């Protein structure tokens, strides 16, 4: 089981967190085309490599955090609170 | 056969051996296949049986050949038994206990007369892929084949009535975890502990020591020193009879700890501990892999006959359990350990008829057997035939590299040493020590392991690595002849009964990559999982293909390294359940319970339909504590509510309550509930019981990621309040009796409003006038510690009003009568807000809210509609999920259905294609028993009181 | 309302070994205390404070994230339970008073401040004894409870037996002790599960005494 370095709680087993998937920018609601909105909902890059994703520390500080994780090695090189 | 031994303790039992692990002062009795046998404390099942001259322990998996002892260790493929209720016990490892009832597992009807051994005669038809090819067609015979195959398969019997046993789990956080308690593992552990590391030392056998245990005087004294040092070091925790079964990301290491009856509490702590097995989940700073080497069998004709065994097996039997392997031996040796076996055999009086030295070109070609299949003679490379009852082989070693594979390494084959070595792909947190790393004298291996241990301690502590600067003294690599298969064909996989001939055939059929060959022939897929057979299989394949072993490569080793019982994986049953403060009352009053989303709730108290009628005619109370409740505070709550719900929230007055629906960003209905305004900047949102956690997380998501500037605090208070819904025409009268500080008159406290007050002398309660059941009703939220008090007060005060407690089932019936949908029951992961009949709620003129773009597009599209349905035959209740059909076309489905005691007929909600979703349309309902019945779409979703007269009371 | 009794507050955890009512709260009477013991402290007042992570409110509360400290003058334990979140424990029956006091203390602090009485919404128990980790917690919680990681006065939130739980190391006169705090509805399950884990280490459920608080 990998560990996630929570910016508030420190290294914790990933089963305390929920993976909320790749970070996506929410399009402006009035202006978004159907394609842009559907891309926001469903399109994921899913690379073998570095990905910026969002995790929620459900059984800990209950903060959403941004994490940069390598999908093959599971190395995490960055972790910070969301909304910063 | 010598008659000098006491038959009571076994005719093959030797006089006292210096390093023996049996306690001759503690004899014990056990049963093997209905006969009684004697053993000593410390014996394994197999050593005890061998001592009594039992030499055949099982029949092989496919050809039902007799099998004896091969490795005399956990891996021994022919020594798997049924012990009492427990199947698949490794008999060459498990210690025998007084009164044990042991049976052979794979011999039908008996070990001696095995009916299925006819398979041997038809062996040529049982080649690779036999089962795939034979039991394929015709398909209608598959059930028959299954029965046949089941009888032929090995494996013990599991009784459903057997004691479920006490299995445990534990988390551990060692700085250094050492896998393997031989001399190298011990040395690494000591050296790490001396540098302040907390060390977990894991050994598969019952004692530390590895091969030192069956070595000579020098080995034994070295071992005594190492053991004393470990015992004296408080920083080392030793787990014996335990095995590392897997290494996962970030050094998450699984250790299976098995019970050792000799240790206090079985090795699990306090005396009296009943634990059978424990799964230790260790997060190790550094993992040191020191499993030693596994001796490899030689492939030649007859190599699986009872009497053919490995040099380590012979030495273990003699030195650990004082068991004489036989009377007349041939030893085939390619290394020093084989030579040691010769001296051990001679020392205990076994006649060594011939030493065949592979280093000088010697070879064994065939082991021939007598009537019972056991070894009677060996044919050598030069054609000589020598009578014997034991053939000991020492042809080389396999490095058990599983844990290295799991850590991302690809071990490489070193032809000079004829074995695999670590490939240099290990992370910094995984190190190797001992035979898996290289060769050396005991002193050299221990010195190397000490450097490894020091490095491990340093890395775990995150300090400078002493070995990194001056590269650790690498172990040397001794030359070893490459011996895999001789000039005849023999068994490669003893567990799966796969011979070298089978592998050659498979390769010729085109399965000439090792991974394909493995799956086609099942070689390496049996209980020993490749530890004995993988390298031989690779060698045979490279012979056929003309490739080298390096080019052929090996299969990938995956967890688990050793078998894990399902009990240990399950551990204690930890199934969290949640209880309301009134649950003790429900249980004491005959409630039939249901569990929904961890909550234990009363389904009903015996007769849900009469509960419905009581509510419709008088008054009832239901425990709705699991309802989600979020306390929302701050000036920006209205903005938040406008974002979360599809409807508008800006103008909700203090004391007002509004129903709302939430959609996810894909426009699918997520949850619903009411939100009330308690104060200027204070709101309370209710959610469905099952959606409480999801909605909270979702709300936090919006606040933390999209709108961190909004000033709102969300606190879940679902269980801070016990919630009671008082429903029915007399609900106002009942509430008035326990609440004097709120004016309950219809115009003072109208429908869809909230008030705070005192209920049954408990201050700080909220009362919501809302109605899921369709009756006049008040939802009272009480500080939870007083929940039971208020519940009991309502029942006492309402006795003359005819009050009753009602359960979830009555509430479900009433809400269905009223046509209220349940999110998750009447909706699913595709249900659009417009389709669920919520059009009236959606306010597309709001600038933004969750899922708005999808709802804008939805408005113009066709989608199935939620409708009320009534079967023409009022006695038929179509089961939920029954299909709605037009001929053979599916046009919808029933989402909820019940018999309505109020209307005395069946009623449903369902989804129906929009072109049919009009009042009065007739539809066909396909029942699960294939009957088709007719039903009619109703005018409203509500089957009962669509105008809401009751509700507004 | 002649038939209706005076309100009695009840803990989410069934009293073990008989119960008594102390100032309106039903409390476990409990057997004698052993070397490893578990007691229910749900009757204590529990108030949650939310404020900016740093600023006047945080300074006045005085306890950082991951720490717990006593204001002994007021018999309060202030726990830094989350980023911008504090849990304040106080004597039985002091919930409303504590809310008022905290609101008064923080009234002019910057940012949004909210003070919510969670006395009735949470279960609180105390596990005490030198075997508390080895005999109980290490079986149900993945956290490393070594002294250097979770010393006396440390606080954290994780899962214990699959229940999200605030854990506070709060030693009693040098004896290892942990406060465990979870949602009220899970309290009975958590209590039962801890007893099950410690069964062979001689764990005892007992009533709270003055020294437990």
| CATH number for position C61 | 3.30.70.1400
pLDDT, position B950: 86
Gap from C24 CA to chain B (nearest CA, Å): 10
Task: Scan for tokens 């070879």, then name that residue.
Answer: B363
Answer yes or no: is pLDDT of B832 > 60. yes
Domain containing C188: what range?
Answer: 32-43+122-212
Same domain, C38 and C104: no
What pLDDT band is residue B152 in, cutting at 50, 70 and 90?
low
> What does the pLDDT average to over B602-610?
97
Give the Cα separation of B798 and B790 in Å (integer).
12
pLDDT, position B117: 56
Nearest to B249 among A1, A32, A34 (CB): A1
Contact C159 A16 (CB under 8 A): yes
Gap from B884 CA to chain A (nearest CA, Å): 31
pLDDT, position B140: 74
Answer yes or no: is pLDDT of B136 > 50. yes
The answer to whether residue C27 is domain-embedded is: no
The answer to whether residue C102 is domain-embedded is: yes
Gap from A63 CA to chain B (nearest CA, Å): 7
Map chain C to HEC letters. CCCCCCCCECCCCCCCCCEEEECCEEEECCCCCCCCEEEECCCCEEEEEECCCCCHHHHHHCCCCCEEEEEHHHCEEEEEEECCEEEEEECCCCHHHHHHHHHHHHCCCCCCCEEEECHHHEEEEEEECCCHHHHHHHHHCCCCCCCCCCCCCEEEEEEECCEEEEEEECCECCECEEEEEEEHHHHHHHHHHHHHHHHHHCCEEECCCHHHC
Gap from A54 CA to chain B (nearest CA, Å): 10
Mutation for testing the A interface, residue in B642, B705, B707, B854 having most A CBs under 10 Å: B705
> What does the pLDDT average to over B677-695?
95
Q: Does A8 touch chain B (CB under 8 A)?
A: no
The answer to whether residue C37 is domain-embedded is: yes
Mark which residues 86-105 of C lie under 8 Å from B by CB.
none
Same domain, C102 and C133: no
Mutation for testing the A interface, residue in B704, B710, B851 having most A CBs under 10 Å: B704
Alpha carbon C83 to chain centroid distance?
19
Average model confidence (pLDDT) for chain B? Answer: 92
Gap from B210 CA to chain C (nearest CA, Å): 29
Gap from A79 CA to chain C (nearest CA, Å): 15
What pLDDT band is residue B860 in, cutting at 50, 70 and 90?
confident
Same domain, C114 and C189: no
How many domains does chain C divide into? 2
For residue C139, the chain B residue with the least C-alpha distance is B170
Map B833-877 to HEC letters. CCCCCCCCCCCCCCCCCCCHHHHHHHHCCCCCEEEEEEECCCCCC
The answer to whether residue C2 is domain-embedded is: no
Same domain, C200 and C127: yes
Q: Does A9 touch chain C (CB under 8 A)?
A: yes
The subunits that touch chain B, with at least 3 C-beta pairs less than 8 Å apart, are A, C
Answer yes or no: is pLDDT of A1 > 80. yes
The subunits that touch chain A, with at least 3 C-beta pairs less than 8 Å apart, are B, C
Contact B579 C1 (CB under 8 A): no
A with C: how many residue pairs have Cβ under 8 Å apart? Answer: 28
Answer yes or no: is pLDDT of B838 > 90. no
Could you please report the per-residue DSSP string of B551-579? HH--PPP-S-SS---HHHHH-S-----B-
Gap from C34 CA to chain B (nearest CA, Å): 15
The answer to whether residue C179 is domain-embedded is: yes
Global pTM?
A: 0.93
Gap from A26 CA to chain C (nearest CA, Å): 25
For residue C167, the chain A residue with the least C-alpha distance is A60
Q: Which residue has the higher pLDDT, B498 or B3?
A: B498
Same domain, C78 and C143: no
Within 8 A of C141 by CB-CB distance, chain B residues are 171
Within 8 A of C14 by CB-CB distance, chain B residues are 584
Same domain, C98 and C70: yes
Q: Does B98 touch chain C (CB under 8 A)?
A: no
What pLDDT band is residue B6 in, cutting at 50, 70 and 90?
very low
Q: In tens digits, what is the pLDDT along chain C, a chain of 213 residues?
A: 445 678 999 999 999 888 999 999 999 987 777 899 999 999 999 999 999 999 999 999 999 999 999 987 778 999 999 999 999 999 999 999 999 999 999 999 999 999 999 999 999 999 999 999 999 999 999 999 999 999 999 999 999 999 999 999 999 999 999 999 999 999 999 999 999 999 999 999 998 888 888
What pLDDT band is residue B464 in, cutting at 50, 70 and 90?
confident
Mark which residues 250-269 of B lie under 8 Å from C by CB.
265, 268-269
Give the Cα separation of A60 and B822 in Å (integer).
31
What pLDDT band is residue B43 in, cutting at 50, 70 and 90?
very high
Contact C82 A58 (CB under 8 A): no
Q: Does A8 touch chain C (CB under 8 A)?
A: yes
Same domain, C38 and C65: no
Residue B227 three-state SS: helix
Give the Cα separation of A2 and A12 in Å (integer).
9
For residue B707, the chain A residue with the least C-alpha distance is A83
Instruction: Please say which residue of C97, C120, C143 terminates a domain.
Output: C120
Q: Does A79 touch chain C (CB under 8 A)?
A: no
Gap from C113 CA to chain A (nearest CA, Å): 18
Answer yes or no: is pLDDT of A78 > 50. yes
Q: Does A34 touch chain B (CB under 8 A)?
A: yes
What are B's interface residues with A at a Cβ cutoff of 8 A?
A: 248-250, 252, 283, 665-666, 697, 700-701, 704-706, 708, 847-848, 852-854, 857
Answer yes or no: is pLDDT of B2 > 50. no
- Domains, chain A: 3-23+32-81 (3.30.2270.10)
Contact A12 C157 (CB under 8 A): no
Q: Which of B56-70, B102-116, B460-474 is least confident?
A: B102-116
Instruction: Please say which residue of C73, C97, C120 terminates a domain.
Output: C120
Answer yes or no: is pLDDT of B510 > 70. yes
CATH number at residue C127: 3.30.1360.120
Nearest to A16 among C65, C82, C158 (CB): C158
pLDDT, position B111: 61
> Under a CB-based contact definition with an 8 Å cutoff, are residues B102 and B32 in contact?
yes
Contact C159 A9 (CB under 8 A): no
- Domains, chain B: 7-118 (3.10.20.440), 166-293+400-469 (3.50.50.60), 294-302+309-395 (3.50.50.60), 491-567 (1.10.10), 583-815 (3.30.1360.120), 864-952 (2.40.30.110)
B142, two tokens: 């598959």
The subunits that touch chain C, with at least 3 C-beta pairs less than 8 Å apart, are A, B
Same domain, C94 and C129: no
CA dihedral B593, B820, B765, C213 (to 10 degrees): 40
The answer to whether residue C12 is domain-embedded is: no
> What does the pLDDT average to over B873-888?
96
Q: Does B625 touch chain C (CB under 8 A)?
A: yes
For residue A27, the chain B residue with the least C-alpha distance is B853
Same domain, C65 and C138: no
Same domain, C39 and C140: yes
Task: Quick: pLDDT tens for B626-659.
Answer: 999 999 999 999 999 999 999 999 889 999 999 9
Complex prediction ipTM: 0.97
Give the Cα separation of B752 and B770 in Å (integer).
5
Mark which residues 25-84 of C lie under 8 Å from B by CB.
25, 42, 48, 50
The answer to whether residue C139 is domain-embedded is: yes
The answer to whether residue C91 is domain-embedded is: yes
Q: Does C12 touch chain B (CB under 8 A)?
A: yes
Q: Does B168 touch chain C (CB under 8 A)?
A: yes
Same domain, C115 and C182: no
Gap from B700 CA to chain A (nearest CA, Å): 8
Answer yes or no: is pLDDT of B665 > 90. yes
pLDDT, position B113: 57
pLDDT, position B469: 47
Contacts of B272 (CB under 8 A, 6+ apart): B265, C200
Q: Where are the alpha helices (DSSP H) in chain A?
A: 34-42
Instruction: Please say which residue of C120, C151, C167 terminates a domain.
Output: C120
Same domain, C56 and C112: yes
pLDDT, position B158: 77
pLDDT, position B1: 37
Share of chain B above pLDDT 90, in %: 81
Within 8 A of B634 by CB-CB distance, chain C residues are 112, 114
CA atoms within 13 A on the CB side of B871: 25
pLDDT, position B873: 97
């Amino acid at each position: 089981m990998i560990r996630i370095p929570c910016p508030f709680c420190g290294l914790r087993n990933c089963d305390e967190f929920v993976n909320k998937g790749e970070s996506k920018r929410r399009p402006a609601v009035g202006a978004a085309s159907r394609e842009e909105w559907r891309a926001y909902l469903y399109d994921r890059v899913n690379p073998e490599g570095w990905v910026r994703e969002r995790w929620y520390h459900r059984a800990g500080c209950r903060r959403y955090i941004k994490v940069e994780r390598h999908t093959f090695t599971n190395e995490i090189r960055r972790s910070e609170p969301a909304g910063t | 056969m010598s008659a000098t031994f006491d038959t009571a303790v076994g005719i093959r039992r030797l006089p006292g051996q210096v390093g023996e692990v049996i306690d001759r002062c503690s004899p014990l009795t056990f049963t093997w296949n209905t006969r009684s046998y004697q053993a000593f404390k410390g014996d394994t099942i197999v050593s005890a049986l061998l001592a009594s001259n039992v030499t055949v322990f099982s029949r092989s998996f496919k050809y039902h050949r007799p099998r004896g002892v091969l490795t005399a260790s956990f891996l021994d493929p022919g020594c798997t038994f049924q012990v009492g209720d427990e199947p698949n016990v490794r008999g060459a490892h498990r210690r025998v206990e007084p009164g044990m009832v042991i049976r052979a597992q794979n011999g039908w009807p008996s070990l001696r007369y095995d009916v299925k051994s006819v398979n041997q005669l038809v062996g040529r038809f049982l080649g690779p892929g036999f089962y795939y090819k034979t039991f394929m067609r015709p398909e209608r015979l598959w059930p028959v084949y299954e029965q046949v195959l089941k009888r032929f398969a090995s494996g013990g019997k599991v009784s459903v009535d057997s004691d479920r046993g006490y299995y445990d789990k534990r988390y551990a956080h060692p700085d250094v975890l050492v896998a393997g308690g031989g001399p190298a593992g011990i040395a690494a552990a000591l050296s790490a502990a001396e540098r302040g590391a907390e060390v977990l030392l894991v050994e598969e056998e019952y004692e530390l020591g590895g091969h030192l245990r069956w070595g000579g005087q020098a080995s034994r004294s070295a071992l005594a020193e190492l053991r004393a040092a470990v015992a004296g070091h408080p920083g080392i925790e030793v787990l014996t009879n335990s095995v590392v079964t897997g290494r996962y990301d970030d050094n998450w290491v699984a250790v299976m700890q098995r019970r050792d009856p000799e240790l206090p509490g079985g090795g699990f702590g306090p005396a009296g501990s009943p634990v059978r097995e424990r799964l230790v989940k260790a997060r190790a700073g550094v993992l040191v892999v020191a499993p030693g080497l596994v001796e490899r069998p030689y492939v030649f004709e007859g190599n699986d006959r009872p009497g053919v065994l490995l040099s380590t097996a012979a030495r273990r039997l003699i030195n650990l359990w004082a068991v004489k392997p036989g009377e007349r031996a041939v030893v085939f040796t390619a290394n020093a350990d084989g030579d040691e076996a010769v001296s051990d055999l001679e020392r205990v009086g076994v006649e060594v008829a011939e030493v065949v030295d592979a280093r000088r070109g010697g070879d064994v070609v065939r082991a021939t057997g007598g009537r019972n299949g056991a070894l009677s003679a060996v044919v050598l490379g030069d054609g000589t035939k020598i009578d014997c009852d034991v053939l000991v082989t020492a042809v080389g070693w396999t490095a058990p590299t599983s844990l290295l594979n799991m850590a991302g390494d690809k071990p490489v084959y070193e032809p000079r040493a004829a074995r695999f070595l670590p490939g240099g792909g290990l992370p910094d947190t995984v190190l190797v020590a001992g035979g898996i790393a290289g060769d050396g004298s005991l002193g050299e291996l221990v010195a190397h392991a000490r450097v490894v241990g020091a490095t491990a301690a340093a890395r775990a502590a995150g300090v400078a690595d002493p070995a990194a600067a001056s590269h650790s003294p690498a172990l040397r690599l001794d030359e070893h002849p490459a011996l895999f298969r001789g000039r005849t064909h023999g068994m490669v996989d003893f567990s799966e009964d796969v011979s070298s001939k089978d592998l050659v055939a498979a390769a010729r059929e085109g399965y000439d990559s090792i991974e394909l060959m493995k799956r086609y022939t099942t070689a390496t897929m049996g209980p020993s999982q490749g530890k004995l057979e993988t390298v031989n299989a690779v060698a045979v394949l490279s012979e056929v293909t003309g490739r080298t072993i390096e080019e052929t490569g090996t299969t990938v080793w995956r967890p688990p390294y050793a078998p894990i019982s399902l009990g240990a994986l399950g551990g204690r049953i930890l199934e969290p359940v949640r209880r309301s403060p009134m649950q003790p009352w429900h249980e004491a009053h005959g409630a039939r319970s249901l569990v929904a989303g961890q909550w234990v709730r009363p389904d009903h108290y015996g007769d849900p339909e009469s509960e419905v009628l009581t509510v419709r005619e008088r008054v009832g109370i239901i425990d709705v504590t699991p309802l989600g409740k979020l306390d929302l505070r701050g000036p920006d709550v209205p903005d938040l509510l406008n974002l979360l719900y599809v409807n508008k929230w800006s103008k909700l007055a203090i004391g007002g309550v509004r129903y709302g629906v939430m959609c996810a960003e894909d426009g699918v209905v997520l949850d619903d509930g009411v939100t009330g305004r308690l104060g200027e900047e204070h709101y309370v949102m209710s959610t469905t019981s099952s959606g409480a956690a999801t909605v909270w997380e979702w709300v936090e998501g919006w606040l933390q990621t999209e709108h961190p500037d909004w000033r709102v605090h969300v606190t879940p208070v679902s269980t801070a309040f016990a919630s009671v819904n008082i429903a029915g025409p007399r609900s106002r009268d009942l509430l008035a009796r326990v609440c004097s500080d709120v004016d309950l008159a219809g115009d003072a406290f109208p429908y869809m409003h909230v008030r705070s007050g005192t209920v049954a002398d408990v201050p700080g309660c909220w009362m919501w006038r809302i109605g899921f059941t369709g009756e006049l009703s008040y939802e009272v939220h009480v500080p939870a510690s007083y929940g039971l008090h208020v519940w009991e007060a309502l029942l006492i005060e309402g006795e003359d009003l005819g009050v009753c407690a009602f359960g979830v089932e009555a509430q479900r019936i009433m809400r269905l009568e009223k046509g209220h949908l349940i999110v998750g029951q009447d909706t699913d992961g595709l249900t659009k807000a417009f389709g669920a009949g919520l059009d009236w709620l959606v306010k597309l003129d709001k600038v933004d809210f969750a899922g708005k773009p999808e709802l804008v597009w939805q408005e113009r599209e066709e989608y199935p509609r939620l409708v009320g349905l009534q079967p023409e035959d009022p006695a038929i209740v179509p089961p939920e999920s029954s299909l709605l059909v037009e001929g053979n076309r599916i046009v919808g489905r029933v989402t909820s259905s019940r018999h309505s005691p109020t209307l005395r007929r069946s009623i449903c909600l369902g989804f129906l294609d929009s072109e049919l979703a009009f009042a009065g349309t007739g539809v066909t309902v396909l029942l699960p028993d294939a009957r088709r019945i007719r039903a009619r779409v109703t005018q409203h979703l509500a089957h009962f009181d669509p105008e809401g007269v009751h509700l507004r009371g | 309302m002649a038939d209706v009794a005076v309100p009695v507050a009840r803990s989410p955890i069934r009293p073990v070994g008989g119960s008594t009512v102390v100032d309106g709260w039903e409390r476990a009477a409990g057997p004698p205390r052993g070397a490893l013991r578990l007691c229910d402290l749900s009757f204590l007042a529990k108030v949650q404070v939310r404020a900016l992570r740093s600023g006047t409110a945080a300074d006045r509360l005085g306890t950082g994230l991951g720490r717990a400290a006593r204001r002994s003058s007021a018999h309060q334990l202030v726990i830094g339970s989350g980023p911008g979140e504090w849990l304040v424990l106080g004597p039985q029956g002091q919930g409303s008073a504590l809310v008022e006091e905290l609101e008064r203390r923080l009234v002019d602090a910057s940012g949004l401040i909210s003070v919510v009485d969670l006395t009735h919404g949470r279960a609180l128990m105390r596990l005490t004894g030198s075997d508390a980790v080895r005999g109980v917690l290490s079986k149900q919680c993945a956290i490393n409870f070594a002294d250097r990681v979770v010393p006396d006065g440390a606080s954290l939130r994780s899962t214990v037996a699959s229940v999200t739980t605030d854990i506070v190391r709060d030693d009693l006169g040098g004896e290892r002790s942990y406060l465990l705090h979870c949602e009220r509805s899970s309290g009975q399950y958590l209590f039962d599960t801890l007893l099950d884990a410690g069964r062979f280490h001689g764990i005892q459920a007992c009533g709270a005494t003055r020294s437990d608080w």
